[in-house]
A and B are shown apart, each in its own frame.
Chain A
Amino acid sequence: MPTHTAAEQVFFKDPAMDRLMGVTMALATEVYVLRDRLRALESLLAQQGTVDLQSLNQEVDPEALAPHQADRDAFVAHLLSPLLGKESSLGVQP
């Protein structure tokens, strides 16, 4: 966490963009850390014969994906529904 009270430098016309960039880059770093971890796990498991990387990397048959479509749709809705700008609960209208 920041330890100083002075305001951070601002580069965008809307300072909110500066802060959102910070959140985005922090998430991107976490994604890369997870990718690295996954790669390491897969490599170890392949060395031990637990997984076959060639099979793992094959395109998934549409029939195999079908059971996961609801999960996919829920993920997308969770990610993108804020773009619609609608309330999730009944608020007090200004």
Chain B
Amino acid sequence: MSTANARAFSAAQDFLLGAKKFWTTQMYPQLREQNQAPTIGTASPVDERVQDNDLYPFYAWMERHLQRMKYAGRYGLVPWHDTQRPALEAALAPVEVPTVPHFAVPDYYPSFDVHQHPGGLMGDSLAGFVYERGARSTTPLDKHFDLHHRFTRQVSAVTSPQRILDVGCGFGKSTRPFAQQFAQAQVTATDLSMPCLKLARHLDAQENITHVRYLQADACATGLKAGGYDLVTSTMLLHELPTTHLAELFVQAHRLLEPGGWTVHLDFLPQVQPGCDDFTDFIHAGHAVRNNEPYMQSLAAFDLRGHLQSLGFTDIGITPFAENDHALDPSYPYWRFPWAVVQARKPM
């Protein structure tokens, strides 16, 4: 048994979460108030306005470094899980997840540490555990897991799938709600990260979820059977993809869907949010840089609707998504991700 000080670790992580809550509910609203763009006249661009703002450097610093301290350093998630390594590796030892034929890790994936997670999601056998623990405190106001159930309920209003493919599934945080919402469906879930996939299966077993098939595969090159699914979905995957991969993902979704099937994705698009302005875009762009998310901005600039139309999809919808009951109120004061749902149908 490890002698590491779990109490100190959890107290430090709790402090960081408290600091993130202050950042979310105090610093962001004040910054937004100070940078409200004038509605008339010759307003200067927001990136010029913040140059003289005393609060902005602290806001930006806190966003960058609270995340750094969460993952790295004395009380970080990575060193903490390292102290638990024997037990955690033993838990995953019996878990097997197949890899699809001709699998290759795309070059972009290991070229940076996404989310400031040292080593990224493939660099260590414990990366899935680290990611899962980190995801519990992504946002201090909403239980991040709840939004997945909100998403699957929204999908259920559109379609009742029997064969679901969840790409970029991570440790199954998005997959399990689909498996629970559509209990009779066959569910296949893929990801690049074997540590995450093994944890996904491990967590499924703990929740007695037995009808999910996990595969290590690139969402843009699964090699799975054409027309084999009536729902191809992802959650927080689109913003992780370079533009070429993003475009290919929808090509593959079209190939994998049977006629009449739906592709539905939950991700971040600031431009569809109520009350979106240059400040919203600026904050989102800054978040991308500060959180090691190099493709967030290319997603925001990508012509999703045009691409889906060019592939022959119909019933295209790109709409904001409410992670809580008040999130889409234009006067909602706190920092939030610009959640959005992208959905389209392959014609019959």
Contacts and interface: CB of A to CB of B under 8 A. Distances in A.
Interface of A: 2-3, 9, 11-13, 17-18, 21-22, 25-26, 28-29, 32-33, 35-37, 40
Interface stretch (B61-69, B87-95, B237-245): B61-69
B318 interface: no
A40 B11 CA distance: 11
The 4 nearest A-B residue pairs measured at CB: A36-B11, A32-B15, A11-B60, A11-B57
A54 to B, nearest CB: 25
A26 B7 contact: no
Contacts of A29: 12, 15-16, 69, 75
Contacts of B8: 33, 36-37
A33 B61 contact: no
How many B residues touch the partner, as a band? 20 to 34
Nearest to A39: B11
B75 A33 contact: yes
A28 B75 CA distance: 12
A18 to B, nearest CB: 6
B57 A3 contact: no
B274 interface: no
Interface of B: 7-8, 11-12, 14-16, 19, 56-58, 60-61, 64-66, 69, 72-75, 118, 289-290
B15 A9 contact: no
Interface of B is mostly: helix
A32 B7 contact: no
Given A3-B118, A9-B290, A32 B12 contact: yes
A26 B54 CA distance: 22
Nearest to B8: A33
A13 B19 CA distance: 23
A4 to B, nearest CB: 9
A21 B64 CA distance: 12
B12 A21 contact: no
B11 A32 contact: yes
Contacts of A17: 57
Contacts of A22: 65
A65 B60 CA distance: 42
A4 B137 CA distance: 25
Contact of A9 (B14, B66, B118, B289): B289
Nearest to B63: A11
A9 B75 contact: no
Contacts of B64: 9, 11
Given A12-B61, A36-B7, A37-B8, 17 more contacts: A9-B64, A11-B61, A13-B57, A17-B57, A21-B58, A25-B66, A26-B69, A28-B15, A29-B15, A29-B16, A29-B69, A32-B11, A32-B14, A33-B8, A33-B11, A33-B12, A35-B11
A37 B7 contact: yes
11 contacts: A2-B72, A9-B289, A11-B57, A11-B64, A12-B57, A25-B19, A25-B66, A29-B75, A32-B15, A35-B11, A36-B8
A79 B319 CA distance: 54
B7 to A, nearest CB: 7
A33 B19 CA distance: 14
B49 to A, nearest CB: 15
B12 A25 contact: no
Contacts of A26: 69, 73-74
A29 B10 CA distance: 11
Contacts of A18: 61
A12 B16 CA distance: 21
A25 B7 contact: no
